[in-house]
Structure 1
Amino acid sequence: MTSELPTRVVAGVTVPDTPLLTKALEFAREHSTDSTYNHINRSLLLGTIISDKVPTTKDRDREAHAIAAVLHDLGFPIGHPPHSDVISKDTRFEVDGAHAARAFLKREADLQQWDKHRLQLVWDAIALHTIGSVVFHKEPEVQACAYGIWADFQGPDRVPGGLLTWDEYNAVVKEFPRLGLMKGVKDNMLHLCKTKPETTYDNTVGEWGDRYLQNEGYSREGKLTQYLLETCDLDEKEPK
């Protein structure tokens, strides 16, 4: 099915060119800053470059990969229009993004082509994209999405196996400049720590709060899983 998709070439990379992907890009553009929008495009291109070289991800659902890549940061709060219904008050940003992407597909996609499995692939790719110890053990589409996202942050030298060259990377960045991506990421992470800290304690977002917001009252003290488990020791309450 995916081999018959219409395609286009961007920065030397062949990617899907379907009406649904066009709508996804428009939706992402509406909910993204300039730097985030360029990041999601680079993530798709870099993920395609890498995944096309990996035997286990080469034969993947390319449209599902593309949709997940371009919608993966919908949960970033900065850049959303006023009164956005994408950003929740009590859910971590990756899950906000996954929910929003699934709702978009249910609204815009042909659900005869987008069954529960394809919807779940996109949801998983987005919800798990920050958890490297999990995401790279998932389905090819989920891995492909993560390859591109991680490569955009780490650069070619940290992509194992020489799967991304500097020439390939630079061509993508020339097409979609970084525009101070890391400042935007930091601003989003700190905004999450300030506005819904309970969603940050058990994940990487909280690391930003630990480093930059301790003087502003942010703390994960007593909130980490180890603390919660040790203070609820059911072994001590076992009936005798």
Structure 2
Amino acid sequence: MVALVPHLTRLMAGIPIPNTHLINSSIALARANLPEHTYNHVMRSWLNGQAIINHLPAANRSKIDVEAYGVAAILHDMGFAWNASFVSADKIFEVDGANAARALIRQQGGKEWTEARIQLVWDAIALHGFTEVARYKETEVLLTCAGTFTELVGPEVSKASFGDLITVNETEYAAIEAAFPSHKLLTTIREDLVELCRIKPATTYTTFVGDWGEKYLPGYTRVGHRSVDLLEAIVRDYP
């Protein structure tokens, strides 16, 4: 069941957005704990996804939990807070973000936040970097993935992966960028992902993060940690 939330009651970067306590709390948590470039990224991700939602026919929009989507999009990168309160030593950054969102919802969400809604937010964050899984999940999960990808590469490139879902237009995209600038976007992405490879390499071997370690971090290697290494070391052909 889709939770009822107030109508889109305010504008941000020209995009009509829902105005709820938990969305505002999510923005405050991200603003207080994320580096500016990461905060700007999550806000751009949310607003691009919300613009996509706003372009849907009313009947389709009514089926989307825009509050759950908003919380997921805003908090999806809390694993880059570089703060022990959010960044674990043994979990992939997506799970760190999902756990942070779940903790906030349980603290401030109220009775309307059922376990199913909390799980939806958790899944959306945990899977936002796994396109080939997210595209087959709930719409809110797909939008968290698609909004994030769209903010990074732009609407036209994103359409190659997500097709007609990507309806945010170039005017909206530019307004979002102007409100939350992406200065040195590639450099900051590289630095953050390489830092994960440095401080907790075991969490990066099986995800895209490891690609950055292999290319940019001296001494980093996945060899010995890949599934092929494990299986070939243990599994045998039997007569």
Q: 1:77 to 1:230 in 2, by over 3 A?
A: farther
Residue 95 (1) aligns with residue 95 (2): yes
Residue 175 (1) aligns with residue 182 (2): no
User: Quick one: distance in 2 between partners of 1:54 and 1:226?
Assistant: 43
Structure 2 counterpart of 1:209: 213
Task: Please give the TM-score of this superposition, normalised by the length of structure 1.
Answer: 0.89
Contact 1:57/1:144 (8 A) holds in 2 = no
User: Quick one: distance in 2 between partners of 1:182 and 1:17?
Assistant: 31
Task: Please give the TM-score of this superposition, normalised by the length of structure 2.
Answer: 0.89
| Alignment counterpart, residue 185 of structure 1, candidates 181, 184, 189 | 189
User: 1:53 Cα shift?
Assistant: 3.7
User: Quick one: distance in 2 between partners of 1:14 and 1:227?
Assistant: 50
Structure 1 counterpart of 2:118: 119
Q: CA RMSD in A?
A: 1.9
User: 1:230 Cα shift?
Assistant: 2.4
Structure 2 counterpart of 1:135: 134
Structure 2 counterpart of 1:194: 198
User: Quick one: distance in 2 between partners of 1:61 and 1:120?
Assistant: 13
User: Quick one: distance in 2 between partners of 1:232 and 1:98?
Assistant: 33
Contact 1:36/1:181 (8 A) holds in 2 = no
Which protein has greater RCO, CA pairs closer than 8 Å, 6+ apart?
1
Residue 67 (1) aligns with residue 71 (2): yes
Count of matched residue pairs? 230
User: 1:6 Cα shift?
Assistant: 5.5
User: Quick one: distance in 1 between partners of 2:27 and 2:73?
Assistant: 10
Q: Report the 3-state secondary structure (helix = DSSP H, G, I; strand = E; otherwise coil) of the residue aligned with 2:107.
A: helix
Contact 2:5/2:18 (8 A) holds in 1 = no
| Alignment counterpart, residue 42 of structure 1, candidates 39, 44, 54 | 44
Q: 1:77 to 1:194 in 2, by over 3 A?
A: farther
User: Quick one: distance in 2 between partners of 1:4 and 1:166?
Assistant: 27
Contact 1:68/1:145 (8 A) holds in 2 = yes
User: Quick one: distance in 1 between partners of 2:182 and 2:85?
Assistant: 27
Contact 2:214/2:220 (8 A) holds in 1 = yes
Contact 2:6/2:19 (8 A) holds in 1 = no
Structure 2: segments with no counterpart, 5+ residues: none
Structure 1: segments with no counterpart, 5+ residues: none
Q: Report the 3-state secondary structure (helix = DSSP H, G, I; strand = E; otherwise coil) of the residue aligned with 1:96.
A: helix
Identity %: 38
Deviations 1:80-103 (A, max 9, x none): 4xxx32111111111011111101
User: 1:57 Cα shift?
Assistant: 6.2
Contact 1:94/1:126 (8 A) holds in 2 = yes
User: Quick one: distance in 2 between partners of 1:204 and 1:57?
Assistant: 32
User: Quick one: distance in 2 between partners of 1:4 and 1:65?
Assistant: 14
